[in-house]
Chains A and B, each alone.
Chain A
Amino acid sequence: MRRVAVAAMLSALVLAQPALAAPTTLGVDWSAVLKAVGGALDSWRLSPFGNKTPTAAPTRTRTTAPNPTVTRTASSTKTETRTRTPSATQSPTVTITPSRTVTATRQPTDTRTPTLTRTATRTYTPRPTATPIPTTSNDGQIAFDLAPGAPPAQKLASAYIVLPYIVSTATQDTRIELMNMSAQDIQLQCFYVRQADCVEVGFFLRLTANQPLSWLAYDGASNPLAFSSVPPFDGVGELKCAVAADRPELSAHNALQGRALVYERTTGETVGYDAIGFQRLTPGAYDGVINLDGFTYEECPDRLHFAVLTRQSGGPVSELITVTCAEDLLTQMPTQTTVQLAIVNEFEQVFSSSYRFTCIASQPFSKLSTLSKSTLGTDSAHLVVRGVSSPLIGLVVDRFSGQSNTLHTTANEPFLEGGRESTVIFP
């Protein structure tokens, strides 16, 4: 069969030769020639590979390829991720995988300090969570057995800090203190975000080597010689500052620490606390997008643990301040999240509670009935706090009665467990 077809094709070609040489003059019947060639090819195609269908199949599959392409359209969703980390991050994102390999090698880069400690941290971070939670789901629940990731190591020179509680009203003011822990000048990009409407006010500061700086939130500050100016703040809010390093080295990023003293003007009731700091982990340029992903910067803590005093009936009321880690100040789209609370009393009994908020919240213990002594039965409690759609930064303002019922107020900073990714975008 195969030979016959090939012979037919060859004969057709031979017959057609003169025609090819003199196409118009000899008046060859081209349609017959083409038909013969086509038939030969057709038969040749059929016979040698008996599985014509399979051959066709792949072709069809390719035709079907558009579907996979559709899947790629889904991939374009990932483009959103790129959108999140605008242009600059896009390229690095592609490079990320390889880079992480570098990170592994870079643990030594962690050289900066926390390395060993951090490795250990990752080992035990999970435990606390294991707590006594009744739930088994890990979908946004506070109750997982393990909180993955590593929390930010605190009290070290950082590249990004957050002061979650700033008050500037007629009766209360805040002294904000920042210090440069490095031997080189640094520039800071800072934003004050007001609780009332989640609107931001931005400003730049320059600190010379080792320079301390403090100002009152109600008054603001100005130093034309240092090209620094801070507007007065208004109401209750949070302050975020990032080191806008002009060099890619880690030492140029990790240089900042800060604290705040919130005080009542007439009574002197004071809440003094340290900023939550995040270190930069990989060298690179500062671009206003702070990826708290455990690769570029340290991750946000997954859970906050507090040792708190329970509310006595008729006694002063403590407050839980929570701030979302993720914040898009570029498009002014405030982050909203539910906060889950697990409360353990001294008898190891577990209670829970939750509330929802946008950007910043001050939740008095009086609104959380599970934090009262009448419910818990003990003077102190272990409070575990977790944001569902965004990790949180938080602070408890402890208020209790002392000798002769005097009012005492103090800051209560959290212990951190686990880590979760989030992104802060500065305009």
Chain B
Amino acid sequence: MPTNGRWRAAAALLLAVSFGWATIAHADAPAQRLPSAILIYPLISVEGGGATTDTRLELVNLSRHPVNLHCLFVPASSCSEIDFLIQLTPNQPMSWLASAGLFSSSVTAIPPFFGTSGEMKCFVVPQPGQESLDDYNAIQGRAAVFGSDGQTIGYSAVGIQRVSEGPFDTDVELDGATYAQCPDEQHFLFLSSETGNPLTESEIVLAPCSEDLANLTQTPTVVQFLVINEFEQQLSAAITVTCNTRRTLRQINQAFTRATLGSETGHVIVRGVQTPVLAMLIDRFVTPDGARGTAGNEPALRGGRSAEILLP
């Protein structure tokens, strides 16, 4: 009996340690700027057939083996999807204009994207039998949205790494066991909105991490904002998001304005309630000499939460 007791104690300890580890793993934010298995481009914009606004999309294969990608474009207007396949040779870079699409080989055929804006997701689909982490974690990408007025928003795609080997499944689980989790909190430094001179009017783009693209069923989620000014005073706001959404900070709440905040810069923590969300800011400001400046503003990440993407 004493021996059994010891074994039980050891087993319990092992379980506790395993559970502790799992719990820890569940709190991980996805590390960025590394070769990834999933890329999410939260902002793609095409206006006037590309004459007013267009987006240059860039992908790069960081591995020395060919990579097949299954990509989907989700227009914000309809929350539907258009999917296509891309094949990249070892180390191959690739870029195309969203308004024009790309037809480069028998496998790679990218349709032009329509609608004012949307998001794109790309998934590495390895060959059967070649399903190691190296086969999955191979790509990176970025995008530059540019307008005829000279405004440019450049940003890197959000990368999600595969964390365990195995076959690709259309039920993509961002659970920290199959793929890395989605970020729980996203921290941004933003310029407070100001109407006078200088004019500052930044925007935020939000996309839910979980998406059912197989059944095209959208689950709305509440997104909470905790705003902290330079005096450590805290304000909050919230909106509901169904799929890809783009709004000015002022449209969300007056908490983002200089008049309310009282400081030029703010720190905002963005968090989805029902499902984690991915976000990026578009900094828009006017220089002291009156020129307009624009830049993509990517978040710092904290913590992780599980999400699921269902592919058709």
Contact = CB atoms under 8 A, between A and B. Distances in A.
A309 B28 CA distance: 33
B32 A154 contact: yes
B187 A382 contact: no
Interface stretch (A31-39, A65-73, A116-124, A195-203): A116-124
A402 B267 CA distance: 33
A345 interface: yes
B25 A130 contact: no
B144 interface: yes
Interface stretch (A79-87, A323-331, A410-418): A410-418
B189 A211 contact: no
Interface residues of B, number: 87
Interface in A63-108: 108
Contacts of B275: none
Given A155-B299, A305-B60, A410-B152, A212 B35 contact: no
Contacts, number: 273
Contact of A212 (B58, B146, B154, B228): B228
B230 A211 contact: yes
Nearest to B30: A117
Interface in B82-117: 89-95
Given A113-B27, A116-B25, A382-B60, A127 B35 contact: yes
Chain A's interface size range is 35 or more
Interface string B132-171: 0110111011101011111011101000011100000000
A297 interface: no
A259 B140 contact: no
B141 A307 contact: yes
A151 B154 CA distance: 23
B99 to A, nearest CB: 10
Interface stretch (B69-77, B248-256, B285-293): B285-293
A410 B154 contact: yes
B34 A151 contact: yes
Given A116-B176, A117-B180, A307 B31 contact: no
B302 A157 contact: yes
Contact of B147 (A115, A214, A265, A402): A402
B295 A408 contact: no
A344 interface: yes
Interface string B262-283: 0111110000000000000001
Interface of A: 108, 111, 113-118, 120-121, 123-125, 127-128, 130-132, 151, 153-157, 173, 175, 177-181, 208-214, 257-259, 261, 263-272, 274, 277, 305, 307-309, 344-346, 348, 350, 378-382, 398, 400, 402-404, 406-417
